[in-house]
Structure 1
């Protein structure tokens, strides 16, 4: 039995996308982006009240990077991992976890623009700083891309970083990042990516959120 606990437009999207890429049967439990994640019965499964949570044959995993590694090891025929000893193993691992470096800035900006609902609670300085930091992480991806994918062929690394870029595009434009833009367009065309997109209510009400100007 494989069951993913998921909230649309959050980090759990990368686990959902990866499951579709692997091509196995699984169930999805969808939650709203609210206090439901901090209540029973979900709280007993994941006390931090966050997503993703993956249940697989009696095992519970709650970190998207760990989920990616586990699924690739569990289903090697999908060809999305890089086993120990592979020439690309170190780079694959680094990209799997670099997705979280991107996502931490997306999360900070999401909090400022979306979760803090009152204007007086938001900080223009934090918005601008985090947008610049996020742009720097995308520049790292731009500099590394030399082919169609992050490695010699499509892998779970593209899923993890690609989902982080999906979130990042709500706060940083890709106009000055042509390699990232072309790579991301290839990822968007994949059927598994399409299946991972939200079908109902979304977290981001707008396509793009401009940082506020700092007023004197």
Structure 2
């Protein structure tokens, strides 16, 4: 594998779909390696890439990046010509990072805890970083409502890919309520050509019935 090659480890039934969309937005060449659940992801070869034994993972320039949010942020900075991340001296860099980390932290934690029935009682909400599920959904809804048309205004960014994927998946799996602001934003995201290409490629890899 050449250091300059982008190797994308994924599975069509995983958060790898987020990274696939990001790669399609970049318009760069990459090699996708489908890792199967079970033996594939837990094989010594793949554990040498990601000791967690999960996808997605990215290999590029002799390094490994894991975690979907980190991969999206890394790719946006590694390929600045795509314009998917504000530069460090751009005032939009702050909001961009804010929403990326908000989705990777409070949203992910609160949605998972709610789905598992493990939300803390109100008197213990201060012990968790997200406070409460309702607080997180309210803040996320405000962000979606202000996306005009994107989180950074007229500028589409990796934050729309990552945070928007959380909303898109959450609505599909009923872990995020189907509110008008979420629906409108998701429809705009689904209208992007890169989103549609990524979805078609992943759908083609799904196990076929029978």
Decide whether the 8 Å contact of 1:9 with 1:167 is kept in 2. Answer: no
Tell me what 1:149 maps to: 150
Structure 1 consecutive aligned stretches of length 4 or more whose deviation exceeds 6 Å: none
Tell me what 1:172 maps to: 175
TM-score normalized by structure 1? Answer: 0.75
- Superposed CA deviations along residues 48-81 of structure 1, whole A, max 9, x for unmatched, are 1122210112121113232222211221111110
Matches within 5 A, 1:24-103: 24-101=28-105, 102-103=107-108
Compared with structure 1, are the counterparts of its residues 27 and 104 closer, same or farther at alpha carbon in structure 2 (3 Å cutoff)?
farther
Unaligned runs of 5+ in 1: 113-124, 203-216
Distance 2:102 2:39 in 1: 28
Compared with structure 1, are the counterparts of its residues 35 and 63 closer, same or farther at alpha carbon in structure 2 (3 Å cutoff)?
same
TM-score normalized by structure 2? Answer: 0.77
> Matched residue of 2:161: which SS?
helix
Return the structure number with greater relative CO, CA threshold 8 A, min gap 6: 1
Compared with structure 1, are the counterparts of its residues 167 and 27 closer, same or farther at alpha carbon in structure 2 (3 Å cutoff)?
same
1:180 Cα offset (Å): 1.7
Compared with structure 1, are the counterparts of its residues 134 and 193 closer, same or farther at alpha carbon in structure 2 (3 Å cutoff)?
farther
Distance 1:57 1:46 in 2: 16
Compared with structure 1, are the counterparts of its residues 33 and 166 closer, same or farther at alpha carbon in structure 2 (3 Å cutoff)?
farther
Distance 1:179 1:63 in 2: 27
State the aligned residue count. 185
Decide whether the 8 Å contact of 2:77 with 2:85 is kept in 1. Answer: yes
Distance 1:172 1:48 in 2: 24
Decide whether the 8 Å contact of 1:16 with 1:196 is kept in 2. Answer: yes
